[in-house]
Amino acid sequence: MPKLAEGKVIVVTGAGRGIGAAIAKLAAKEGARVVVNDIGVGLAGEGGDKSPAEETVSEIKKAGGEAVANYDSVAQFASAGKIIQCAVDTFGRIDGVVNNAGILRDVIFHKMSEDDWDSVVNVMLKGAFNMCRHAADHYRKQESGAFVHMTSTSGLIGAMGQVNYGAAKMGMVALSKNIAVDMQRFNVRSNCIAPTAWTRMTASIPPKDPAAAKRVEQRKQVSAEHNAPLAVFLLSDAAKEVTGQVFSTRKNEIFLMSQPRPLRGIHRAEGWTPSTCAEHMLPALKSWFFPLDRTADVFPWDSI
């Protein structure tokens, strides 16, 4: 049976552990040559350790695959360029980028510092832009390429104490969609996945009540590897008709997520005033308002 990613050169950021490592290893198993990017920092972005990236590369090579480690940061534009150049210098081209690198600075909004905000947004949203922008030059010339961005239901739906994380992850959805629109003329595709897995990042968030503790036990059944098949598929030519989409994975479930579209409209020929907004618009649209859901409210059942 042919390998789905045969001949592809793929960069996976944050690939030293967790979901990134699972994607890198499966991509290599499916025939891709992989750049395993990871600067080896802690969850909050502190420190630095080359061993996570090296361990992923070692596992890929032991399984008969091809990979190289890279330790440059996605958060700075020039540094991100070195990651893409590493793929080109080592393997001769670049065909796919998985924007998976991320850090966590969970804190309730009214206590969130500027550094909490900047650190998360710079790594995830700006980092995704940096990676995509450098890869785009190569994609345009070769008229092919794919991006996969790891978003989150913290942005798509909402979560407690994750204003910075949720904003960055929702920003990645808009980034992906607009890249898909701009670069479709070059046969470049861009899609998002909101993953579910028990990783060191999710393990770092303490349960706030018994219901949350129960969800933690259920989430422990979902491994990082459950998210890799969809990502590798989206990087392959088998997904040539898939672009601008947002998916979510939960163990053996795959969801196509909605995107903002008009739900209901009302019109006044004479225009609107603040008073008519209160008297007319509010009662006409209120029943269509979205509640303040969190992820657990939208996905209340156990992963299958």
pLDDT in tens, 118-172: 999 999 999 999 999 999 999 999 999 999 999 999 999 999 999 999 999 999 9
pLDDT number for residue 296: 87
96-99 and 9-13 beta bridge pairing: parallel
pLDDT over 80 (residue 194) = yes
pLDDT in tens, 67-86: 999 999 999 999 999 999 99
Can you tell me the distance from the alpha carbon of 289 to that of 150, in angstroms, rounded to the nearest whole number?
Answer: 28
pLDDT number for residue 25: 98
Band of residue 199 on the pLDDT scale cut at 50, 70, 90: low
Q: Cα dihedral sign for 124, 157, 252, 244?
A: negative
pLDDT over 60 (residue 212) = no
pLDDT number for residue 81: 98
pLDDT in tens, 217-265: 666 667 899 999 999 999 999 999 999 999 999 999 999 999 999 999 9
pLDDT over 90 (residue 202) = no
Can you tell me the distance from the alpha carbon of 20 to that of 261, in angstroms, rounded to the nearest whole number?
Answer: 31
User: Catalytic: which of 139, 147, 165, 247?
Assistant: 165
CA distances from 55 to 33, 147, 226 (A): 16, 24, 20
pLDDT in tens, 33-65: 999 999 986 555 455 689 999 999 999 999 999
pLDDT in tens, 12-35: 999 999 999 999 999 999 999 999
Structure tokens at 220: 């422990």
pLDDT number for residue 222: 79
Answer yes or no: 71 catalytic. Answer: no
pLDDT number for residue 46: 57
Please state the rounded mean pLDDT for residues 197-222: 60
User: Do the Cβ atoms of 92 and 9 come closer than 8 Å?
Assistant: yes
pLDDT over 90 (residue 302) = no
For the domain spanning 9-259, the CATH number is 3.40.50.720
pLDDT number for residue 77: 98
